[in-house]
Amino acid sequence: MSLNQTLDMWLALPERKFSRKCFRNSTTIACDCSGFMTLLFNALGKSTPYQLDRPKAVHYYSILQEIGSNHVDRLERGNVLAWRKERLPKSGDTGHVLLVAGKAIQSGDKRYLLPVIDATKRRNGLSQREVEVHTDDRGKLTGIRLHLGDSKVKRTPIYHHAISDSRSCFGCGLPTRVCGCGTIDAVLDAPPVIILRHPTERKRTLSTVSLIKQRYPAVLVKEGEIFSPLRLPNLALMFPGGKLQQECEQSAEDSATLILIDATWRKAKKILHLNSWLQVLPRVELSPDKVSDYLLRKVSKPKTLSSIEAFAAVMNDKTMEGLLRAFMERQIAVMGESIYLKNYRHYLNFSDDTSGRSHN
């Protein structure tokens, strides 16, 4: 059945209920927001984010942040849209996920009415209705009024993408041609690392954050150049000019949260310059022996680690290093040697030893 037929049928079911457990039969659809998506992805035969049986809103958000858009004029019927809470609760809502049912219609200054299909407690389950989205002056989505009668507007980054797109994989957040589904077991707890990403990083063919998310789907990634200060205890910034991580092993034990800047060296310095709250944080630097031999095989600039390499080293995660290795090999096979040599020279694990690989 097509997406439209499926939605028409579900919306016409006599019993629609809001429920944390989700199921559907000939008379009833019972679900919460992410349960609706699970039912929909299963009905369409699509792989769910990180191949989870029951992904939450945060997992849809994680994928959409990699493959989707955050602009109002890209909103189309059939797009999945989500946002997430910065700090995830132990149980309960991690954010919200919904299906866009039509184009956004401007209703005021930087405000639009958007038809959606979603499951909410307020509507007692699945319904088609309207929400109000807010944008900045360039059309970037900055907030949402989830119930039109409410005064509260939630200020949050929002991403969305067509459920039917075949070029990007909803299962792993990578281009379909280098799909990484099923190659790694996800660690569902949020890791003690927060990534601040420069907006241009995501536009690259290969976002290393997509790889990080396959291992840690709940990792918090914030995009921009200027960031409001994070309200968390024991923050530390991973940036050259601080203590080596080895030396602060003791303090690393007491649940420090590391901030990692995902940007070119030049842009990372700019982000630091623009955010004074980052400048005053204690700094952590990786000592070379924290990084595996493989990752250090070729080092052009010893002080710059790509984000995934730094991440794997900080988490001391051998599985993740294996993932990186397998992915780079698959990526090289798909793109061809010459493009790899041209585009990925700056990677710490870059190797120009082509003897072991076939040209295509």
- What residues make contact with Zn ion under the rule CB under 5 A? 169, 171-172, 179, 181
Nearest distance in Å: CB 315, Zn ion = 22
Q: Residue 216: CB partners within 8 Å, gap ≥ 6?
A: 186, 187, 190, 191, 193, 315
Are 70 and 82 spatial neighbours (Cβ–Cβ below 8 Å)? Answer: no
Give the span between the Cα atoms of 81 and 131, in whole angstroms: 12
Nearest distance in Å: CB 278, Zn ion = 33
With H, G, I as helix, E, B as strand and everything else as coil, classify residue 311.
helix
Nearest distance in Å: CB 302, Zn ion = 33
Give the span between the Cα atoms of 94 and 97, in whole angstroms: 10
- CB closer to Zn ion, 207 vs 292: 207
- CB closer to Zn ion, 158 vs 172: 172
Are 141 and 135 spatial neighbours (Cβ–Cβ below 8 Å)? Answer: yes
Give the span between the Cα atoms of 245 and 261, in whole angstroms: 16
Supply 338's token pair.
Answer: 């010459």
Nearest distance in Å: CB 69, Zn ion = 19
Nearest distance in Å: CB 47, Zn ion = 6
Q: How many CB atoms lie under 10 A from the CB of residue 142?
A: 18
Q: Quote the DSSP letter at residue 168.
A: B
- CB closer to Zn ion, 51 vs 343: 51
Nearest distance in Å: CB 217, Zn ion = 13
Nearest distance in Å: CB 250, Zn ion = 40
Are 99 and 116 spatial neighbours (Cβ–Cβ below 8 Å)? Answer: yes
Q: Which of 114, 172, 173, 122 is nearest to 150 (CA)?
A: 122
- CB closer to Zn ion, 21 vs 177: 177
- CB closer to Zn ion, 16 vs 213: 213
What one-letter code names the amino acid at 18? Answer: F
- CB closer to Zn ion, 17 vs 330: 330
Supply 353's token pair.
Answer: 């030893």
- CB closer to Zn ion, 166 vs 250: 166
